[in-house]
Amino acid sequence: MAVKLTARQQQILDLIRSEIIRTGFPPTRAEIASVLGFRSPNAAEDHLKALARKGAIELTPGASRGIRLTETGPVGGLAADLGGSSLSRAFAPLLVPLVGRVAAGSPILAAEHVEREVGIEPSLFTQTPDYLLRVRGLSMRDAGILDGDLLAVRKSPEARNGQIVVARLGDEVTVKRFSRHGRHIQLLPENPDFEPINVSSDDEFSLEGIAVGLIRSTPLQ
């Protein structure tokens, strides 16, 4: 990076990178403040704005996890825009199916759901995705997942608390944060305009996969 960072800025940048590698998504301001001992998320916001001015990150207004690394190289999380130069350079692509709308009751990778195959750089994510899912709606807005984004998903029938998952509940497929306490499962949105989904023992429920990263297919505003 051409611009020199302060020790604190480098610490925050390292934290962002490690969280993206660990979970597939950047930390919130509150999480940064908690880990680094700031008195409030506003202090974290000030440092993030400084990092953005120096070109180390890009910020998405209004999203608590709207932080995107701009450094080159694999980071295991948010990728460049599909039309951006970093994905147009030459590489041996990994072809991954892009899933659009999922019809009620049919397998998520059924042929009628696959819009096309997308070539991605194999090192783009720390875990290789099995498919990309086109996000519908804004229920995960504060996790930095917006309508039209492509969520990279690794197929898995199990998930840990706090992971972002693709879940099937009845005839619907949804993207939410997974929470299990004993036998009680909740699917949690990242937008206060949406209510948590409580999964009962009578519901037809299954996990379609775990999010391992995100590709923004529209330009950042």
- Contact status, residue 135 vs residue 147, Cβ threshold 8 Å: yes
Question: At a CB cut-off of 8 Å and minimum separation 6, what does 65 contact?
Answer: 25, 26, 27, 28, 142, 143, 144, 145, 190
Catalytic site residue from 4, 64, 123, 139: 139
Length of the chain, in residues: 221
Of residues 34, 86, 176, 206, which has the active-site annotation? 176
Between CA 220 and CA 67 the distance in angstroms is 11
Is residue 176 part of the annotated active site? The answer reads yes
Answer yes or no: 54 catalytic: no
Q: Are strands 114-120 and 197-199 parallel, antiparallel or unpaired?
A: unpaired
Q: How far is CA 115 from the centre of its chain?
A: 21
The two structure tokens encoding residue 90 = 């030459």
Alpha-carbon span 27 to 33, nearest angstrom? 10
What token pair was written down for 120?
Answer: 């991605």
Assigned token pair, 140: 């995960």
As annotated, the active-site residues are 139, 176
